[in-house]
Chain A
Amino acid sequence: MSLCYQCGKCSAGCPVRYYMDIAPNKVVRLIQLGYYEEALKSETPWLCAGCLTCSVRCPKEFDLAKFMDAVREIAIEKGVEVKQENILKFHKAFLDQIKNHGRSYEVGLVAEYKMKTLDLFQDVDSAPGMFLKGKLDLLPHNIKNRKEIKSIFKKTSGKK
């Protein structure tokens, strides 16, 4: 954490910088100064696309993308209200498919996501196309050892 000297190169190269409420380097700064709540409440970690541009260009070799992973994980753990709630709902819906089937199941994912967000109309243009092109299977690809996957989820979901 003390590695960061606040040069801002991460923010300068961040592809989603324009959509963020505060700059990525500022999230680091807030945590350096002990303003954890402010940092955890920010939308920035949720908008981070994990593209690693910041990490590969950081002059101090600070892995900011991984740091953002940690911030999000702590925010979930602490139950901080996530302003970019759709993004979190998407991730949850995605992981639910894996938990149940072992692989991603796009129909289930989209259905669950839409139930959660009540955003029923987005993507209506692409889904039928995907069906027509035979890309969306109506049934999930279940793996055999779903028990193992469920157990991994169970063991890793406990409060630390």
Chain B
Amino acid sequence: MKIGVFICHCGENISSTVDCPRVADVCRGYSGVEYSVDYKYMCSDPGQNLIKNAIHKYDLDAIVVGSCSPHMHERTFRNAAVSAGINPFMVEIANLREHCSWVHDDIEASSRKAIELMRMAIEKVKRDKPLTKIKVPVTKRVLVIGGGIAGIQAALDTANAGYEVVLVEKEPSIGGHMSQLSETFPTLDCSQCILTPRMVEVHQHPKIKLMTYSEVERVEGFIGNFKVTIKKKARHINEDKCSGCGMCITKCPIKKKAYNSFEEDLAFRPAVYVPFPQAIPNIPVIDETVCTYYKTGKCGMCLKVCDREAIDFAQKDTMHVADVGAIIVATGFKLYNIEKKSGDSKYKGYGEYGYGKYRDVIDGLQFERIASASGPTSGEIKRPSDGRVPKKIAFIQCVGSRDDSKGISYCSKICCMYTAKQAMLYRHKVHDGEAYIFYMDIRAGGKMYEEFVRRAIEEDKVKYIRGRVSRIYEEDGKYIVKGEDTLAGMPVEIDADMVVLATAMIPQDGAESLARTIGIPYDKYGFFNEAHPKLRPVESTTAGVFLAGACQSPKDIPESVSMASAAASKAIILFANDTLEREPVVAKVNEDICAGCFYCMKVCPYGAVEVKDVKDMNGIVYKEVAYINQGVCQGCGTCTATCLSKSIELAGFNNEEIFAEIAAL
């Protein structure tokens, strides 16, 4: 085997503390080394040509480059080797920069260390085997989880590019939080008016299969080849027969047993219901927990009035399997609430604001419903407790956000804007009403956002008070809000008729367990982690799984929509090829010596280990061994290290290669 050695100076990054010519000289003396040279910039075009020419001239079989981290230029040097006719896996990188020159200052000592690093790499390359990339097919169908505005946008973009979409939504209707909003900042256009056409488009799109009232149960497989199991919860309504006439809803005798969650518990709903009139699909759901039929076996009023025989009390949850090539996660957010939390909760409640015992102390989404023309008060601003029109409202920002003591340190980002909007809407609807906003900072970075906040202050006379509120308590039907104007240095007490808390956006219930099901990482709050905060913001670290909207961090509508389109385009890019190439650095089991203990299966973070039957000549199974799915394996090496019988080898990093490196030290 003829080996070429190439030592890079990296300008002065390496050469200032490593004597590069000396390293090249010493390497030249090692057995198997045919050619050794140092150069100022090995990654430059002339540097790469130096490598290519040497390969041709000296008929090299393998090369070792002493340079920066393989994260930077491994691909560069492998490509150079390939163009000169060498297998890319016959290239080794010795990291002389991050592991040597940058972290030492003694030239003599670091030169010696550089020589050691090179010798190790040379010994490894001698044992390297040529490897070929693995090709896997791609299923050109995408799963979108979550039917809020982000999921809707991602589904439409992918479907309009010609690919099939399975859109899974856990609620009975798509639309998400955006369908609950009254008007949107900074333009004050009606949220439902701009959203519902999109919802209809999803419903009618021939490429989109909509699965509402459904949840993802299991995800198997890998990029290009996911197998997803979806649970479709029983609606107790036959979807094919139901015409959406609503007779069952009108006639249901249960009127005040269940809170209407779409109305943020400000109203009741019957036992059979659709969340809101524009629901997609317009098919009701029977709530077993309150329906009389499920308690006593009697009633059945809906059954009697349905002339299409769509009511099906016996309907059961069903499981469905979908093969998809990519997954877009768009599960969105929910709001932190101030109620007392159990001891194991990550968050604490606000006892100083009454732990939610005051009925007119509401959160931002409740105010949206009260201000919405389709809401429980038909858009008239009224107090939930007694229906009176509040003449003074205190809005409090940063409730639960930027509050370490309650467990949330982050800024919830959109509250400054929606609070300004809500105060503005209130002033538009109640002309003699006073609106106070307690804030810490106004964060209005966005197109026309700052102008919008100024408009609330200058035109709509909303009074901003800089200071956090310490306490709220009820006195004679008023809510005493105790604050401090930190700009004036004066204590402030507002006797408000109603208090609106801009509570923090937190991940949806079950976000963490869904992340574990899919196999994507999340942060300490349960927001899903992107692969790189700047350069790969819509990809998860799991190949083929993309993120959209507030499931990744608090976001407003335009940001969620942009991210959804970006995630869709990532899926579309994936589908541009019929097969995928994967790195061949994967683990392989030696079936002869595998003891079948399956420790590897327990430790594999990617679920790549399967059970394989080994049969004798007569086709009778005589043992079970581990089998590693090469499409799923990410080459992390955990199984290799865990294997008790030493029967797993990682291609490109096998035991012989590693021991040779160590022995060279």
On whether the beta carbons of A12 and B491 are closer than 8 Å, the reply is yes
On whether the beta carbons of B482 and A13 are closer than 8 Å, the reply is yes
Who on chain B is nearest to A58 by CB? B405
On whether the beta carbons of B468 and A7 are closer than 8 Å, the reply is yes
On whether the beta carbons of B352 and A57 are closer than 8 Å, the reply is yes
A92 on interface, CB distance cutoff 8 Å? no
A89 on interface, CB distance cutoff 8 Å? no
Who on chain A is nearest to B350 by CB? A57
Who on chain A is nearest to B401 by CB? A59
Bound-state Cα–Cα, A68 to B352, Å: 22
Partner of B486 from the list A6, A13, A58, A61 (CB cut-off 8 Å) is: A6
Interface 1/0s, chain B 404-431, versus A by CB < 8 A? 1110000000000000000000000000
Who on chain B is nearest to A53 by CB? B470
> Which A residues are CB-close (under 8 A) to B471?
12-13, 57
Bound-state Cα–Cα, A13 to B405, Å: 16
Chain B: minimal CB distance from A55 (Å): 10
Known: A5-B440, A59-B405. A23 touches B484 (CB 8 A): yes
> Which A residues are CB-close (under 8 A) to B406?
59
Who on chain B is nearest to A22 by CB? B489
Interface 1/0s, chain B 457-501, versus A by CB < 8 A? 000000000111111000000000011111001111000000000
On whether the beta carbons of A60 and B486 are closer than 8 Å, the reply is no
On whether the beta carbons of A60 and B404 are closer than 8 Å, the reply is yes
Known: A7-B440, A57-B352. A12 touches B468 (CB 8 A): yes
Interface residues of A in 1-47 (CB under 8 A from B): 5-14, 17-18, 22-23, 25-26
Known: A5-B440, A23-B489, A25-B484. A12 touches B469 (CB 8 A): yes
Bound-state Cα–Cα, A19 to B466, Å: 21
> Which B residues are CB-close (under 8 A) to A9?
467-470, 484
Chain A: minimal CB distance from B419 (Å): 16
> Which B residues are CB-close (under 8 A) to A59?
398, 402-406, 468
> Which B residues are CB-close (under 8 A) to A10?
470
- A9, A53, A60 interface centre (most CB from chain B within 10 Å): A9
- B470, B471, B485, B492 interface centre (most CB from chain A within 10 Å): B470
Interface residues of B in 482-529 (CB under 8 A from A): 482-486, 489-492
On whether the beta carbons of A25 and B486 are closer than 8 Å, the reply is yes
Who on chain A is nearest to B488 by CB? A23
Bound-state Cα–Cα, A135 to B331, Å: 67
On whether the beta carbons of B489 and A26 are closer than 8 Å, the reply is yes
Interface residues of A in 44-72 (CB under 8 A from B): 53, 57-61
Who on chain B is nearest to A7 by CB? B468
Instruction: Report how many A-B pairs have Cβ atoms within 8 Å.
Output: 70
Chain A: minimal CB distance from B588 (Å): 52
> Which A residues are CB-close (under 8 A) to B469?
9, 12
> Which B residues are CB-close (under 8 A) to A13?
352, 470-471, 482
> Which A residues are CB-close (under 8 A) to B485?
8
> Which B residues are CB-close (under 8 A) to A26?
489
On whether the beta carbons of B470 and A12 are closer than 8 Å, the reply is yes
Known: A59-B402, A59-B403, A59-B406. A12 touches B467 (CB 8 A): yes
Chain A: minimal CB distance from B298 (Å): 53
Chain A: minimal CB distance from B218 (Å): 40
> Which B residues are CB-close (under 8 A) to A5?
402, 440
**Could you tell me how many residues of chain A have their Cβ less than 8 Å away from some Cβ of chain B?**
22
Bound-state Cα–Cα, A12 to B486, Å: 9
> Which A residues are CB-close (under 8 A) to B486?
6-8, 11, 23, 25
> Which A residues are CB-close (under 8 A) to B470?
9-14, 53, 57
> Which B residues are CB-close (under 8 A) to A11?
467, 470, 484, 486, 491
Bound-state Cα–Cα, A94 to B491, Å: 32
Known: A22-B489, A25-B484. A8 touches B403 (CB 8 A): no
Chain B: minimal CB distance from A70 (Å): 21
Who on chain B is nearest to A17 by CB? B491
Bound-state Cα–Cα, A12 to B484, Å: 5
Known: A12-B467, A12-B468, A12-B470. A61 touches B405 (CB 8 A): yes
On whether the beta carbons of A8 and B404 are closer than 8 Å, the reply is no
> Which A residues are CB-close (under 8 A) to B491?
11-12, 17-18, 23
Interface residues of B in 339-359 (CB under 8 A from A): 352
Bound-state Cα–Cα, A72 to B466, Å: 28
Bound-state Cα–Cα, A60 to B398, Å: 13
Bound-state Cα–Cα, A85 to B145, Å: 67
On whether the beta carbons of B482 and A7 are closer than 8 Å, the reply is no
Known: A12-B482, A23-B484, A26-B489. A7 touches B467 (CB 8 A): yes
Who on chain A is nearest to B493 by CB? A12
Bound-state Cα–Cα, A106 to B590, Å: 87
Chain A: minimal CB distance from B264 (Å): 25
Bound-state Cα–Cα, A17 to B486, Å: 13
Who on chain A is nearest to B400 by CB? A59
> Which A residues are CB-close (under 8 A) to B489?
22-23, 26
Interface residues of B in 172-206 (CB under 8 A from A): none
On whether the beta carbons of B405 and A8 are closer than 8 Å, the reply is no
Bound-state Cα–Cα, A8 to B483, Å: 8
Known: A5-B440, A11-B491, A23-B489. A60 touches B405 (CB 8 A): yes
Bound-state Cα–Cα, A10 to B398, Å: 15
> Which B residues are CB-close (under 8 A) to A58?
405
Interface residues of A in 87-128 (CB under 8 A from B): none
Chain B: minimal CB distance from A91 (Å): 26
On whether the beta carbons of A8 and B467 are closer than 8 Å, the reply is yes
Chain B: minimal CB distance from A10 (Å): 8
Chain A: minimal CB distance from B437 (Å): 14
Chain B: minimal CB distance from A22 (Å): 7
Who on chain A is nearest to B490 by CB? A23
Interface 1/0s, chain B 366-395, versus A by CB < 8 A? 000000000000000000000000000000
> Which B residues are CB-close (under 8 A) to A25?
484, 486
Bound-state Cα–Cα, A13 to B469, Å: 8
Bound-state Cα–Cα, A10 to B485, Å: 12
Bound-state Cα–Cα, A8 to B469, Å: 8
Bound-state Cα–Cα, A126 to B467, Å: 41
Bound-state Cα–Cα, A60 to B402, Å: 8
Bound-state Cα–Cα, A17 to B490, Å: 9
Chain A: minimal CB distance from B400 (Å): 10
Chain A: minimal CB distance from B82 (Å): 53
Bound-state Cα–Cα, A157 to B484, Å: 38
Chain A: minimal CB distance from B402 (Å): 7
- A6, A10, A18 interface centre (most CB from chain B within 10 Å): A6
Sample of 16 more A-B contacts, CB < 8 Å, known A7-B486, A8-B483, A12-B471: A8-B467, A8-B485, A8-B486, A9-B469, A11-B470, A11-B484, A12-B470, A12-B482, A12-B483, A13-B352, A13-B471, A17-B491, A18-B491, A57-B352, A57-B470, A59-B406
Residues of B whose CB lies within 8 Å of any CB of A are 352, 398, 402-406, 440, 466-471, 482-486, 489-492
Closest 9 CB pairs of A and B: A13-B470, A8-B467, A12-B470, A9-B468, A8-B486, A11-B484, A7-B468, A59-B403, A8-B484
**What are 15 residue pairs bridging A and B, where the CB atoms are less than 8 Å apart in the complex?**
A8-B466, A9-B469, A10-B470, A12-B468, A13-B352, A17-B491, A18-B491, A22-B489, A23-B484, A23-B486, A23-B490, A23-B491, A57-B352, A57-B405, A59-B404
